[in-house]
């Protein structure tokens, strides 16, 4: 038993060292400032592996932690994750309750053992219509945000109770209120005004460079439509989110680097 555990530890140690070495090499090239993930395929993953749906969502949170650490080792400045859409409230009541319970549990873990966020200096932002969340989730969300507010090196956006339409409508409403309050003679609202009032902008996020949707579905599902409307590279991957890992991510980063190098080459010519 002791030998088996020792061999397992050694195998994991070697794999971790090899992974970190590979990431260091990739990080020597152009690195995106902001990467977003749509956490899609949890339910299909659960059915494929004959697991309860709840377990699929739980494994999805483990995948998020895994990918967050990979991104941070690559020196990605901001990571966003589409955790729960406003549209998801239409799902069966027991599944919604289980998801909210899981969100509360993971946020409590952050407040009690925020080792990864503290190690990398990550600020947590809960992005979305928080008033729709259960009070218990709102409470721990505030605690987790407050606990990491001093972190300045990187940002983690958890989009919960979110849709892009709601974000844009909220931003426009904020612009209108400001224009009326300032009593401007020409109260026009510009694209720049709306952009400045987006939830991600208010949280200090840089422009979105890559948006990744796993599970084989090729649509944006009302996620950061404004942010990805110009220079964002949109990538689709067939892997279900709980299985998504380093070797799904590397080709995406290499493709991003290739496009950046090609752009720089054209400019230099």
Active site amino acids: 40, 88
Q: Which two tokens stand for residue 26?
A: 């990739």
Distance between CA atoms of 200 and 81, rounded to whole angstroms?
12
Nearest to 223 by CA among 86, 89, 107: 86
Buried-exposed string 186-217: b where 16+ CB fall within 10 A, e elsewhere: eeeeeeebbeebbbbbebebebbbbbbbbbee
Distance between CA atoms of 92 and 107, rounded to whole angstroms?
23
Nearest to 234 by CA among 262, 255, 264: 255
Q: Which residues contact 174 (CB under 8 A, 6 or more apart)?
A: 197
Asked whether the beta carbons of 143 and 150 are under 8 A apart, the reply is no
DSSP state of 206: P
Measured in whole angstroms, the distance separating CA 100 from the mean position of its chain's CA atoms is 17
User: H or E stretch including 186?
Assistant: none
Q: Strand, coil or helix: what is 207?
A: coil
Q: Which two tokens stand for residue 140?
A: 């721990």
Q: Which two tokens stand for residue 59?
A: 């494994």
């Amino acid at each position: 038993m002791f030998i088996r555990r020792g061999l397992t530890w050694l195998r994991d140690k070697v794999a971790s060292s090899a992974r970190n070495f590979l990431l260091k090499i990739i990080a020597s090239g152009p690195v995106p400032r902001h990467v977003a993930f749509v956490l899609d395929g949890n339910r299909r993953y659960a059915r494929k592996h004959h697991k309860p749906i709840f377990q699929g969502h739980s494994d999805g949170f483990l995948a998020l932690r895994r990918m967050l650490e990979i991104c941070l080792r690559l020196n990605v400045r901001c990571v966003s994750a589409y955790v729960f859409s406003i549209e998801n409230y239409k799902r069966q009541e027991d599944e919604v309750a289980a998801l909210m319970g899981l969100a509360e549990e993971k946020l409590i873990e952050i407040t009690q053992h925020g080792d990864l966020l503290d190690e990398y200096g990550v600020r947590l932002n809960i992005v979305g219509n928080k008033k729709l969340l259960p009070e218990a989730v709102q409470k721990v969300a505030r605690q987790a945000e407050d606990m990491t507010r001093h972190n300045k090196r990187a940002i983690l956006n958890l989009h919960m109770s979110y849709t892009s339409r709601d974000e844009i409508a909220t931003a426009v409403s904020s612009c209108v209120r400001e224009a009326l309050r300032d009593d401007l003679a020409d109260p026009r609202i510009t694209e720049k005004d709306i952009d400045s009032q987006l939830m991600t902008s208010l949280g200090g996020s840089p422009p979105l460079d890559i948006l990744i949707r796993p599970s084989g579905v090729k649509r944006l599902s009302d996620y950061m439509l404004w942010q990805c409307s110009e220079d964002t590279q949109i990538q689709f991957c067939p892997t279900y989110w709980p299985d998504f890992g380093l070797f799904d991510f590397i080709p995406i980063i290499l493709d991003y680097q290739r496009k950046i190098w090609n752009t720089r080459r054209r400019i230099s010519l």
